Structure formats: C-alpha cells, structure tokens
C-alpha cells in the first residue's frame, strides 16, 4: 500500500510539472518575438524562459552574459494584466541595479552591450489586475515569457589595417 501511494504521488507530481510546462511551455518563443530589421543577426539564447505566474508574483532568473556580445531582453504576457510586466536587471555579484523598466517608460524590451562577462539576475514582477478567463489556468494567473537574444557586437570606429 505504501509503495502504491508513493507511485501515485510521484506520478501526480510529474503530471503537474508536465501540465504546467504544457500550459506555458515555449510561450516566449511564440509571443515575445520581435521583428529585427534587415541585416540584424539576433540569435535565440537558451537562457530564455516561460512560466505560469500568479498576480503579484515575483520570480528571479540568473543568466550569464559574455563580453563582446549585444543582448536584447523582452518580456511578454499572455493576457492583459492591467499593467505591463515589470522587470529589473541586477549584477549578480554586487546586486547593483542595472536596469528597471519602471524608470524607462515601462518598456517591455531592453537592448545593451556587454563590456565584460558576468552573471545577471533578472527579476520579473507580475502586477495585480484583471485577467481573461481560460479553462486551462486559474483566473488570476497568466503565462509570462522572457526572451533573451544575443549577437556579436558590431565593430565600431576605424578598422585595423
């Protein structure tokens, strides 16, 4: 009986994890896509994530950025949450606030150039507000995507001869 209960519990936990991944799974790949101009060589970064967020939820993600690369980070949500998604970027070592979209006209996209290799903490906050009903998710929850893209920094100034 104890083994049967363990099997049921493990199956339930696995099913719950799979169903949550199924609900929002690759949301960032489908809905956070920004159209780049001709000649832009943005590449998908595997550190991108999607998740099911409750209203008022705060979640953090650690990512590594590399010297000599340009990065574009964008957030998107599945339903109208009253306000747009808030996000902040911190230096993981010093905890210095590097970017806050609340002070940048609530933009949902941020591009920057990395002068050194380092770790960042990206904090995503889903504000409270009304959501549309969906039969697969709780009424107060929505899918949120964080899309991270990168490309080699363009050479600037005089080229070497």
Residue 64 or residue 157, greater confidence: 64
Long-range contacts of 22-29 (CB under 8 A, 24+ apart): 23/52, 23/136, 23/137, 23/143, 24/50, 24/51, 24/52, 24/78, 24/143, 24/144, 24/145, 25/50, 26/50, 27/76, 27/78, 27/143, 27/144, 27/145, 28/76, 28/145, 28/146, 28/147, 29/145, 29/147
Q: How far apart are CA 29 and CA 16, in angstroms?
A: 22
SS3 content of the chain, % helix, strand, coil (to 5): 20, 35, 45
Class of domain 27-152 as given by CATH: mainly beta
* Residue 9 confidence (pLDDT) above 50: no
DSSP state of 87: E
Distances from the Cα of 88 to the Cα of 55, 91, 135, 147, angstroms: 17, 10, 31, 14
Percentage, residues of the chain above pLDDT 90: 39
Domain positions in the chain are 27-152
Judge contact between 74 and 34, C-beta under 8 A: yes
Residue 50 or residue 127, greater confidence: 50
pLDDT of 85 reads 86
pLDDT tens digits for 20-69?
456 888 888 887 876 655 566 899 999 999 998 888 889 999 999 999 99
pLDDT of 45 reads 93
């Amino acid at each position: 009986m104890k083994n049967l209960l363990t099997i049921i519990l493990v199956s339930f936990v696995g099913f719950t994890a799979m169903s949550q991944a199924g609900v929002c799974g690759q949301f960032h790949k489908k809905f956070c896509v920004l159209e780049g101009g001709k000649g832009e060589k943005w590449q998908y970064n595997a550190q991108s994530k999607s998740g099911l967020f409750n209203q008022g939820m705060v979640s953090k993600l650690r990512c590594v950025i590399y010297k000599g690369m340009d990065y574009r980070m964008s957030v998107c949500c599945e339903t109208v949450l009253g306000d747009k998604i808030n996000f902040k970027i911190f230096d993981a070592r010093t905890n210095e606030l590097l970017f806050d979209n609340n002070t940048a006209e609530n933009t949902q996209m941020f591009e920057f150039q990395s002068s050194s290799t380092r770790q960042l903490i990206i904090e995503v906050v889903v504000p409270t507000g009304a959501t549309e009903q969906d039969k697969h998710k709780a009424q107060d929850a929505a899918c949120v995507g964080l899309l991270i893209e990168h490309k080699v920094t363009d050479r600037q100034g005089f080229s070497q001869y």
